[in-house]
Amino acid sequence: MKATQKLHDLGQSLWLDNITRDLLNSGTLKRYLGELSVTGLTSNPTIFDHAIKSSAYDVAIREGLEKGKSGEGLFFDLALDDLTRAADLFRPIHDRTNGVDGWVSLEVSPLLAHDTASTIAAAKKLSARAGRPNLFIKIPGTKEGLPAIEEAIFAGVPVNVTLLFSREQYVAAAGAYLRGIERRIAAGLNPQVGSVASMFISRWDAAVAGKVPKPLNNRLGIAIAGRIYQAYLELLNTPRSQRAYNAGARPQRLLWASTGTKDPDASDTLYIKALASPFTVNTMPEATLKALADHGEIGPVMAADGGDCEKVLAGFAKAGIDVDTLAAQLQDEGAKSFVKSWNELLTVIASKSNALKQAA
């Protein structure tokens, strides 16, 4: 049995952190469902930036230009074409699991990361345009994003909370989700609105590479994950959460993101093995998914009490790493990185548009 199947059977959802038209057109994504136990996928501006550079989008871009589309509007047309196709592919899984699994994700413009009102408006509009029950709108868990998450959930828009790094950021995002659900219950609305909270793991280790003693290499992200997992399980068992579940709400699942290994000297499935945990999601880069299927091993299930995470984090504190300050820095850098990719994406679309116009 492949390690991908073992991980799925353990109770963790395997999602692909990638989307391209080639993946869809070639049947590769469909094959991953059957052969590698993939049950969902995520996307972000960086992924689309790389994807749209290929010629697979030229015909669609030309058609969009003929309709007067350009820039951001043209991009969302292209992205929605891909993601609604992917959503339809995963729809049987979504139906079979009663909405727990089988999701795809589309991000609002990263330029709105610090604009609450515009984020809410964009989330509602994109969700309505997609018209698929298994499409998450990704909203960053920044200070300005939290009210937008609450409002989107209250409006019935499924949300993938992105750019979360620390336990404190996770708890704040989970609180925004619960407030949205509680408001739906109070208003007599169906409280079953899907959501995941995406924790970025490998960026922790990349941030401290070369700054800590060698025994601590590639241990910070996993220790932070242990702390978050403990908080997640505790939150699932609070009276507040259980009151919401009793009214028909679903728990917001924890999602492990940024799980591709950055250190070439470390195992290419380092974070997959360490983050094995039921009732969570691991969204993997394509290379990591293939490595897991080829030679990966599944480690023991994560400790409900966080295991040795606090001891490891004490070692980082002793080495001069302030995880609270670093968490805020990583979230800010993550938001800026997505803006950079977004601007590069729009530049690629503009360049392709001009080239196609001249070739017409």
Dig out the tokens for 206 from the structure. 């990349």
């499409």: which residue's tokens? 135
Catalytic-role residue among 138, 214, 273, 318: 138
Encoded amino acid at 166, one letter? S
Do 113 and 106 touch, CB atoms closer than 8 A? Answer: no
In 10 A of CB 22, how many CB atoms? 13
- 35 vs 32, 198, 268, 316, CA distance in Å? 5, 25, 20, 40
Encoded amino acid at 132, one letter? R
d(CA 46, CA 203): 15
- 289 vs 78, 194, 221, 268, 350, CA distance in Å? 25, 24, 19, 10, 33
- Dihedral class, residue 333 (left if φ above 0, else alpha if ψ from -120 to 50, else beta): alpha
d(CA 157, CA 233): 24
Residue 30 bears catalytic tag: no
d(CA 272, CA 274): 6
Encoded amino acid at 236, one letter? L
d(CA 19, CA 15): 11
DSSP 169: H
Across the strands, what pairs with 104? 135
Dig out the tokens for 17 from the structure. 């952190």
d(CA 190, CA 187): 9
Write out the catalytic residue numbers. 138
